[in-house]
Chain A
């Protein structure tokens, strides 16, 4: 099977190109890519696209290599697998991660792919995908924690023609939209994605008109080659021939098993860089699997490496042949169909912590701590008093880690262009109030450079409904580096109107809430960088005045404060004492081994520790064909909720004896102001 390109044959001619003209085309492609973003953001309806900018553009050359964009090109794979024609006016559409090598990684991402023609010849491709708020399936938002296969995660559209030679397949579209809960949003979002591809099409055609098709295509070759050469130089500077290894974890799969290991070894062999994921855990039963496209990883790796050197380099596929990516089949990062994929966000995010850990070992001046490496979500849905269906999809933000250049940021995003949805917007459109929106003091890891704090958002629900949560780093800690301490983990606390308080698991669905209930969604902080006792005490005191560090928290920096401010004598004494205690600054501080974290888990988090999947699991062979009937064991027994009812309407009067009680007390104290 392979796609047949229908076009007017034209002899390919290579054309001499001046550097300046090449730079013009490079700039023009970069502008076109930004235009694609602008169009999709302004017209989409899903908050995930509008505010979180969960939509990714791509402009590719004739053979499908990315020349501008943000996700690795899969078009080559698509062309070889697609059994049909490609004609002018066609628009392809898919939401099947398994059918595009993971170019999209869950069924919520709808991908549009448009061949660009000029003078009857195929000159390139435009593609864009966006995260739909809902694509059907078993839970609102289509990100079910307990799914055992992708078939529970909503409608899956194989690569099909949405337009055939310029004509929309209305029946196809109607059929797909009939599967989802908010069809009007999907319709708008799909239009937005399509409009943005059309924009790229127009720009590429203009470039072809301006410079000629031959010159344009020749220039793309040169751009790819220029990038390859630049990256080869860069890799030789950054990546050693001696292998370095790093690993990090996704805490659990929402079914009681975990943590899942992501392990990667990096080395260089001549000009070629190898990223080998041998040692990564097997795929999970639950929906945390991340179908990782090799090109996506190449892009991530390239971008990270390039960041400090020449941020104006246009990312393209040129350097991809230099990077060898090895991912074991059947692992968390290369699950077999039909493994569930919807909640892959944590594995995706954690990959960046792993890359940071690898590159930081190659170049210590580049070493950042672990940060808010995920996009945890909250869903709240139901039928309001007017009989209207509401469905909220919120993404959480957290602590950016401390960096070689300075502190991390409190309650920020580590993904490009993400912003929160204004709370006033939420209050106007959903039956809830946001009673607090602030970073959590001391949640960032202490260090010479302080890790950014996580955020506490207090949602007061005003209508009965159900809540789903998908978060992580409740069990393992965001590690600090070079003597910096780890950041605090995330937690979810539900306060009922009767005064009872309940720690919710980081991943749960179908939690019933009543009017008046308050959910404290607390995210994790970033790790610290460098030895905290080297931080300027003045700076620590300022952090305390700003409410970012508490007086007790200042002691982690060896800083003593009294009512009037800095107590210099006690600070000096405290620091001397800490220095004398023979502390050894760790390169990576994870806050304990897995065994230690397991032992302390219940006491510290209020949740039972996850079970090691390699010990407890009897793996069923997944069904090989799509559409196979689900035969897995039913969900159950995995729910771990600890309910700690307080006295009716009362708040804890003093910090409790266990860390959990202290935690609950602290959060409650913040809410009530007493």
Chain B
């Protein structure tokens, strides 16, 4: 049997076919079809099946990372959402907690993005719960009915319901949803307690609206894709990747599409989760550097750090996602020197795919990070296996403008551009590591994406994160991640009680209820019993604090949880902030997280060779490092054998990416074909 991993990127759709018994893979790349992504997906799927001569019926699982939800938000072309709220709260999203981004005076220039729901499509309804969930005023059902009719008449194509204190008792929301279903059959309805049963009227309502906003797009896409796959004979399980790196069924995804907003970047991290530990590294910092931005994340003991929120451009919603930090630093980032300060700035503006870096010869003239890499000799003369020549002179001319601004040589300017872009990425890597209390020196740096392998060595030097791990085909890793992770499900509840007031039995029962919800979702996804694991978390803080820390209390419900919560929180607080308090602990939310063991793909080992990598040597070129030119060797990645050692400076080229090994470092090829880069003085264990 086989499984298919499919990742839809901005330019290409990658399809990866994996034979489960052997772990053998075959991949295909077809142009993405932004109008209807399913066209490209089907094209890729049929092609890879034909190439491999595999029958569609033999595909046991179709596993998919999608940017449909993300794009709907980025391009502001989601549904017209109608919103029903408690009287007095019509402007809950308009006021948006009064927050204005930027520093002092930021309001002068802030260009506020359009709201996801227009104020004229918001209706207020009488009916009120208090914070204990007790009804103070009954729901005005007549008004709900009238509001639904009005909104439908106005042309809304999705409905969100967000009542005050619904986290404590969702009865009014459920009743209103029922009325809406009767009044407007077929209109998708999202209730705030259903999407996010947590305290905080703004975040809960916004998340619900975001859910409603992307729901029609995601629903149409997934149903459409499903139909096409079935008609191609592909009737196996169909799952989609969540922002938190787990999979869920297409059906579940239609209910909570807001949890797909970071499906794209999650694929790369999921691949690191599969490939890093297989190479012997369970603690990883991931560096996914593309053309316009870089995503970084932290994986501890094989598990990525999960945040309780998801950020897409200006939108921040409360849906779990891998703690991916994005910086506007990529190969296309533009360098400039403002006249006022004479300081060198790189990004966040990007030359994008068009016109792209000057070296691509597509009309770009502004100096980009890629141009700096070309000037310094870090890239081969041509990319994409020789199909795309690089214009060194154009790159030098572009970088020359920076050199003039700084009054230095072109090489020095290029080196400075690389230093600054590396520093920007370093800031993001520190954010996920040092700022969260992790010492980056005990993490390996997993570099991928089109440009990650080019910069990873330099960043490892700055962070002390060794070795650098560069997997095979680093430019197209997401599809592998999609195909190698397991099903994930979450169930939450706001508790909001001092830990001292909670009795163990009650807490156990609460967790059991949440676990039952996970079981239901596992059942729907046909997860085998022996692959199911459920663990419990609680968001805890000292009474009075405004932020919580998630404490993992493991999977056993047979031991006392309360002492575990107390000590777990204190330890985390000490690690994060360097102190603890003698204050009361307060449990804000509790959560059950279900993860099915990923059905591991057997890693394929490459052919063993000696230390000498001579057979992969394809030439040499000069690289500018540490203020001077040096001779570097060029290697063909596909010709490398396990055990080969490459002494820096060296450049390793392959179809979709280029890796740079700096002087003073050595890269070893491991049995799975990963490049492991270490400082030469640390020796290389073979």
Q: Which residues of A contact B (CB under 8 A)?
A: 18-24, 26-28, 31, 35, 38-39, 41-45, 47, 50-51, 70, 184-185, 187-188, 191-192, 194-195, 198, 226-227, 230, 233-234, 300, 303-304, 307-313, 368, 371, 397, 400, 403, 405-406, 408-420, 422-425, 427-428, 433-439, 455, 458, 542, 545-548, 673
Mask for B418-440, Cβ within 8 A of A = 1, else 0?
01100110010011000100000
Going nearest first, the 7 A-B pairs with the smallest beta carbon separation are A50-B546, A436-B88, A45-B544, A20-B416, A546-B119, A397-B98, A428-B131
Cβ distance B80 to chain A, nearest Cβ, rounded Å: 14
Let me know if B105 is at the binding interface, CB within 8 A.
yes
Partner-binding segment picked from B176-184, B362-370, B517-525, B575-583: B575-583
With a cutoff of 8 Å between Cβ atoms, the chain A residues found around residue B164 in the complex are 423-424, 427
Let me know if B97 is at the binding interface, CB within 8 A.
yes
| Residues B420-470 near A (CB distance < 8 A) | 420, 423-424, 427, 430-431, 435
| A412/B130 contact (C-beta < 8 A), A19-B343, A19-B416, A45-B542 known | no
A-B contacts, CB under 8 A, total: 227
* In contact, B98 and A226 (Cβ under 8 angstroms): no
Q: Which residue of A lies closest to B165 (CB)?
A: A424
Cβ distance A192 to chain B, nearest Cβ, rounded Å: 8
Cβ distance B402 to chain A, nearest Cβ, rounded Å: 10
Complex alpha-carbon distance, A39 and B437, angstroms:
11
With a cutoff of 8 Å between Cβ atoms, the chain B residues found around residue A226 in the complex are 341-343
Cβ distance B425 to chain A, nearest Cβ, rounded Å: 11
* In contact, A188 and B583 (Cβ under 8 angstroms): yes
Complex alpha-carbon distance, A70 and B112, angstroms:
24
Let me know if B111 is at the binding interface, CB within 8 A.
yes
18 examples of A-B residue contacts, CB within 8 angstroms: A19-B343, A22-B343, A23-B420, A24-B420, A42-B545, A43-B573, A188-B542, A195-B579, A304-B104, A411-B91, A414-B100, A422-B203, A424-B164, A425-B200, A428-B131, A436-B88, A439-B91, A546-B120
| Residues B101-137 near A (CB distance < 8 A) | 102-112, 118-120, 128, 130-131, 136
* In contact, A303 and B108 (Cβ under 8 angstroms): no
Let me know if B94 is at the binding interface, CB within 8 A.
yes
Cβ distance A216 to chain B, nearest Cβ, rounded Å: 15
* In contact, A45 and B545 (Cβ under 8 angstroms): yes
Other A-B pairs, 19, CB within 8 Å; known A31-B431, A410-B95: A18-B416, A20-B344, A20-B415, A31-B427, A38-B435, A226-B342, A310-B338, A405-B111, A412-B100, A416-B100, A417-B99, A423-B164, A424-B164, A433-B136, A437-B91, A439-B94, A545-B119, A546-B94, A547-B91
* In contact, B577 and A42 (Cβ under 8 angstroms): yes
Complex alpha-carbon distance, A427 and B89, angstroms:
14
| A420/B542 contact (C-beta < 8 A), A411-B91, A546-B118, A546-B119 known | no
With a cutoff of 8 Å between Cβ atoms, the chain B residues found around residue A435 in the complex are 87-88
* In contact, A410 and B343 (Cβ under 8 angstroms): no
Complex alpha-carbon distance, A38 and B104, angstroms:
17
With a cutoff of 8 Å between Cβ atoms, the chain B residues found around residue A38 in the complex are 435
* In contact, B130 and A433 (Cβ under 8 angstroms): yes
With a cutoff of 8 Å between Cβ atoms, the chain A residues found around residue B47 in the complex are none
With a cutoff of 8 Å between Cβ atoms, the chain B residues found around residue A418 in the complex are 98-100
* In contact, B340 and A422 (Cβ under 8 angstroms): no
Let me know if B60 is at the binding interface, CB within 8 A.
no
Q: Which residues of B contact A (CB under 8 A)?
A: 87-92, 94-100, 102-112, 118-120, 128, 130-131, 136, 164-165, 167, 199-203, 338, 340-345, 406, 408, 412, 415-416, 419-420, 423-424, 427, 430-431, 435, 496, 542, 544-547, 573, 576-579, 581, 583
With a cutoff of 8 Å between Cβ atoms, the chain A residues found around residue B109 in the complex are 307-308, 311, 405
With a cutoff of 8 Å between Cβ atoms, the chain B residues found around residue A397 in the complex are 95, 98
* In contact, A424 and B341 (Cβ under 8 angstroms): no
* In contact, A44 and B545 (Cβ under 8 angstroms): yes
Cβ distance A30 to chain B, nearest Cβ, rounded Å: 9
A545 CB contact (under 8 Å) in B120, B341, B435: B120
B88 CB contact (under 8 Å) in A31, A411, A434: A434
With a cutoff of 8 Å between Cβ atoms, the chain A residues found around residue B119 in the complex are 545-548
With a cutoff of 8 Å between Cβ atoms, the chain B residues found around residue A433 in the complex are 128, 130, 136
B131 CB contact (under 8 Å) in A44, A45, A427: A427
Complex alpha-carbon distance, A423 and B130, angstroms:
11
* In contact, B131 and A23 (Cβ under 8 angstroms): no
With a cutoff of 8 Å between Cβ atoms, the chain A residues found around residue B110 in the complex are 409
With a cutoff of 8 Å between Cβ atoms, the chain B residues found around residue A422 in the complex are 97, 199-203
With a cutoff of 8 Å between Cβ atoms, the chain B residues found around residue A303 in the complex are 103-105
* In contact, B98 and A230 (Cβ under 8 angstroms): no
With a cutoff of 8 Å between Cβ atoms, the chain B residues found around residue A408 in the complex are 107
| A50/B545 contact (C-beta < 8 A), A303-B105, A308-B108, A435-B88 known | yes
With a cutoff of 8 Å between Cβ atoms, the chain A residues found around residue B92 in the complex are 437
Cβ distance B464 to chain A, nearest Cβ, rounded Å: 11
* In contact, B131 and A188 (Cβ under 8 angstroms): no
Complex alpha-carbon distance, A187 and B576, angstroms:
18
B107 CB contact (under 8 Å) in A22, A27, A400, A439: A400
Complex alpha-carbon distance, A136 and B92, angstroms:
35
| A41/B546 contact (C-beta < 8 A), A424-B165, A424-B200 known | yes
Q: Which residue of B lies closest to A427 (CB)?
A: B131
Cβ distance A170 to chain B, nearest Cβ, rounded Å: 13
* In contact, A185 and B419 (Cβ under 8 angstroms): no
Complex alpha-carbon distance, A24 and B459, angstroms:
13
* In contact, A230 and B420 (Cβ under 8 angstroms): no
Complex alpha-carbon distance, A542 and B119, angstroms:
9
* In contact, A195 and B578 (Cβ under 8 angstroms): yes
| A413/B100 contact (C-beta < 8 A), A50-B545, A226-B342, A438-B90 known | yes
B577 CB contact (under 8 Å) in A39, A403, A416: A39
| A438/B547 contact (C-beta < 8 A), A27-B423, A400-B107, A424-B201 known | no
Complex alpha-carbon distance, A547 and B88, angstroms:
12
Q: Which residue of B lies closest to A231 (CB)?
A: B340
| A411/B95 contact (C-beta < 8 A), A20-B416, A400-B100 known | yes
Cβ distance B630 to chain A, nearest Cβ, rounded Å: 20
A420 CB contact (under 8 Å) in B89, B98, B111, B131: B98
Complex alpha-carbon distance, A31 and B99, angstroms:
21
Cβ distance B94 to chain A, nearest Cβ, rounded Å: 6
* In contact, A313 and B98 (Cβ under 8 angstroms): no
Cβ distance A483 to chain B, nearest Cβ, rounded Å: 19
Complex alpha-carbon distance, A406 and B542, angstroms:
42
Complex alpha-carbon distance, A246 and B415, angstroms:
49
Q: Which residue of A lies closest to B338 (CB)?
A: A310
Cβ distance B136 to chain A, nearest Cβ, rounded Å: 8
Cβ distance A257 to chain B, nearest Cβ, rounded Å: 30
Complex alpha-carbon distance, A38 and B427, angstroms:
14
Cβ distance B542 to chain A, nearest Cβ, rounded Å: 7
With a cutoff of 8 Å between Cβ atoms, the chain A residues found around residue B342 in the complex are 19, 226, 230
* In contact, B427 and A27 (Cβ under 8 angstroms): yes
A428 CB contact (under 8 Å) in B99, B202, B496: B496
With a cutoff of 8 Å between Cβ atoms, the chain B residues found around residue A673 in the complex are 87
| A198/B130 contact (C-beta < 8 A), A23-B344, A24-B419, A28-B423 known | no
Complex alpha-carbon distance, A435 and B542, angstroms:
28
B98 CB contact (under 8 Å) in A20, A234, A411: A411
* In contact, A409 and B167 (Cβ under 8 angstroms): no
With a cutoff of 8 Å between Cβ atoms, the chain B residues found around residue A195 in the complex are 577-579
Q: Which residue of B lies closest to A309 (CB)?
A: B340
Q: Which residue of A lies closest to B424 (CB)?
A: A27
* In contact, A438 and B95 (Cβ under 8 angstroms): yes
* In contact, A313 and B340 (Cβ under 8 angstroms): yes
Q: Which residue of A lies closest to B544 (CB)?
A: A45
B430 CB contact (under 8 Å) in A31, A416, A455, A546: A31
* In contact, A412 and B95 (Cβ under 8 angstroms): yes
Cβ distance A410 to chain B, nearest Cβ, rounded Å: 6
* In contact, A438 and B102 (Cβ under 8 angstroms): no
Complex alpha-carbon distance, A458 and B415, angstroms:
59
* In contact, B546 and A44 (Cβ under 8 angstroms): yes
Complex alpha-carbon distance, A530 and B100, angstroms:
23
Q: Which residue of B lies closest to A313 (CB)?
A: B341
| A427/B420 contact (C-beta < 8 A), A300-B104, A417-B99 known | no
